[in-house]
């Protein structure tokens, strides 16, 4: 492009070329193709995502008992009700603690797995697939397997069978609240389902690190192992790490499937979304349900933006 404009006078060339582009068939073809490909997705997004969001926001300012047609405007009352000490705040607090635990653990495990897999010399594709496969498994199916076969509370559950070899009596994993053994079930199911996916993200990040950096580090006397990881690998994974952290945090606040299927409406470990689900679908109180959804959405957005500020999400890698 640069060479073609060198010979011609610069001033008339640009309007001519841009006018041709605007009116010419090629560009409208590109635009047409753009809308052809993006249009259906955009319409779907508008109808099935944005419209319901707007609808939820409208509902959240109304009393909507057994109806999704807003009729009685009550201002911020739904929000005030939810933000008073009560089950919704309890669930937010529980899940902030949950997030503080599950996010670093998932992060560390997936980066660890990725590092191991990156070093492996044989059967790479096999191991990658094996660790990634659980991602393809439905949360519901996994929850049922965990609940009914691995961690059921009777003698023929896998965990109890293994423990019985050592003379440990049957443990009711999901029903035991002190100590809260149900977390073992939930956390193991969640890790099994999620670690593979984030591991793949880290693997992709690892493979983009140029080998020259490692050579230079070695020349400079960096020891293999921790030092190389600390000063070369980890900084180079910054963009991936920030993205993974963000996704993990959103995923933690949106926890629903495994909690719903494993514990139902148990107040001792009820994620905000499960509470809102029962509020809206169970109690038929769509006003409070929507207000809760808006609060949660705002919370996730604030955390995301704050995280973006702190870690520079979306900025080009330096």
Partner 1 sequence: MGPNLPASFNRRRLLAAMGLGAAAVGSAPLLAACGGGSSGVSGDSGGSGGSGSKPTISQWYHQYGEAGTQQAVMRYAKAYPDATVKVQWTPGDYTSKLNSGLLSSSGPDVFESSVNIDQVKSNQVVDMTDVIGDLKSDYTEADLKSCTVDGKIYGVKIVDDMGVLYYRKSLLSKAGIQPPTTIDELISASQELTTSNQKGLFIGNDAGVTPSFGGGSLLGPILWTVGSDYLTADNKVGFTSNEVMQSFEKMRQLFNTKSILLGAPTDWWDPSSFTQGLAAMQWCGLWAMPGIQKALGDDFGVVAWPKFSSTVGKPSTFAGGWTSMVSAKAKDVEAAKAFTKWLWIDNTADQEDFNLSYGFHIPPRKSLAAKATKLQSGPAADALKIFNDYAIASNTAWTAKMNSAYADAATAIVRQGGDVESNLNKAAKVVDSELQRLFG
Min dist CB 175 to partner 1, Å, is 4
* By the rule CB under 8 A, 82 interacts with partner 1: no
- Give exposure, 280-308, as e/b (b: 16+ Cβ within 10 Å): beeeebbbbbbbbbbbbeeebeebeeeee
Which lies closer to partner 1 via its Cβ, residue 231 or residue 278?
278
Whether residue 194 contacts residue 229, with contact meaning beta carbons closer than 8 Å, is answered with: no
Using the contact rule CB under 8 A, the part of the chain among 122-130, 202-210, 231-239, 299-307 near partner 1 is 299-307
**Footprint on residues 24-53 left by partner 1 (CB under 8 A):** 34, 38, 45, 48-50, 52-53
d(CA 128, CA 152) in angstroms, rounded, equals 30
- Evaluated on CA atoms 139, 144, 145, 146, the torsion sign reads positive
**Is 135 a residue that touches partner 1 (CB under 8 A)?**
no
* Binding track, positions 150-169, relative to partner 1; x by CB under 8 A: -xxxxx-x-----------x
Per CB under 8 A, 178 contacts partner 1:
yes
Nearest residue to 162 via CA among 174, 143, 149: 149
Stretch that binds partner 1, among 116-124, 206-214, 223-231, 264-272 (CB under 8 A): 264-272
Residues 204 to 223: which contact partner 1 by CB under 8 A?
none
Q: Is 102 in the site for partner 1 (CB under 8 A)?
A: no
Q: If binding is defined by CB under 8 A, does position 198 make contact with partner 1?
A: no
Closest to partner 1 by CB, 52 or 134: 52
Closest to 60 in 3D by CA, of 47, 44, 79: 79
Asked if residue 174 binds partner 1 (CB under 8 A), the reply is: yes
- State in angstroms the smallest separation of the CB of 126 from partner 1: 32
Query: Which among 284, 257, 261 has a CA at the least distance from the CA of 273?
Result: 257
Q: Does 89 bind partner 1 (CB under 8 A)?
A: no
By the rule CB under 8 A, 66 interacts with partner 1: yes
Give the Å distances, CA to CA, from 148 to 138, 156, 160, 179.
15, 10, 12, 21
Name the residue nearer to partner 1 (CB basis): 105 or 145.
145
Closest by alpha carbon to 190, among 248, 246, 241, 149?
Answer: 248
CA angle 313, 245, 57 (to 5 degrees): 80
- Pairwise CA distance, residues 282 & 177, whole Å: 24
By CB under 8 A, tell whether 109 contacts partner 1: no
Positions touching partner 1 (CB under 8 A) are: 1, 18, 21, 34, 38, 45, 48-50, 52-53, 55-57, 59, 65-68, 87, 148, 151-155, 157, 169-178, 250, 253-254, 256, 264-268, 272-273, 276-286, 289-290, 293-294, 296-297, 300-301, 304
């Amino acid at each position: 492009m640069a060479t073609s404009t060198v010979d011609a006078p610069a001033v008339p060339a640009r309007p001519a070329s841009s006018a041709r582009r605007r009116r010419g068939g090629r560009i409208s073809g590109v635009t047409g193709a753009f809308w052809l490909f993006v249009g259906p997705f955009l319409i779907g997004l508008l109808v099935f995502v944005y419209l319901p969001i707007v609808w939820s926001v409208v509902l959240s300012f109304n009393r909507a008992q057994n109806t999704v047609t807003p009729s009685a405007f009550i201002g911020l009352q739904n929000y005030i009700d939810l933000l008073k000490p009560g089950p919704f705040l309890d669930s937010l607090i529980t899940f902030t603690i949950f997030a503080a635990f599950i996010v670093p653990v998932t992060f560390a495990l997936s980066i660890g797995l990725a590092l191991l897999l990156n070093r492996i010399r044989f059967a790479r594709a096999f191991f990658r697939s094996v660790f990634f496969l659980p991602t393809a498994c439905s949360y519901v199916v996994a929850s049922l397997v965990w609940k009914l076969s691995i961690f059921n509370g009777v003698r023929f559950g896998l965990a109890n069978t293994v423990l019985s070899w050592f003379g440990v009596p049957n443990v009711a994993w999901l029903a035991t609240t002190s100590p809260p053994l149900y977390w073992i079930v939930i956390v193991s199911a969640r890790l099994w389902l999620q670690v593979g996916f984030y591991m793949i993200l880290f693997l992709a990040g690892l493979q983009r690190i140029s080998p020259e950096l490692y050579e230079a580090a070695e020349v400079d006397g960096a020891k293999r192992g921790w030092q190389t990881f600390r000063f070369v690998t980890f900084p180079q994974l910054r963009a991936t790490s920030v993205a993974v952290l963000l996704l993990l945090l959103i995923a933690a606040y949106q926890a629903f499937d495994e909690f719903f299927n494993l514990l139902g409406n148990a107040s001792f470990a009820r994620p905000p979304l499960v509470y809102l689900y029962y509020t809206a679908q169970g109690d038929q109180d769509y006003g409070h349900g929507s207000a809760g959804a808006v609060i949660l959405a705002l919370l996730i957005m604030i955390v995301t933006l704050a995280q973006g500020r702190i870690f520079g999400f979306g900025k080009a890698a330096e």
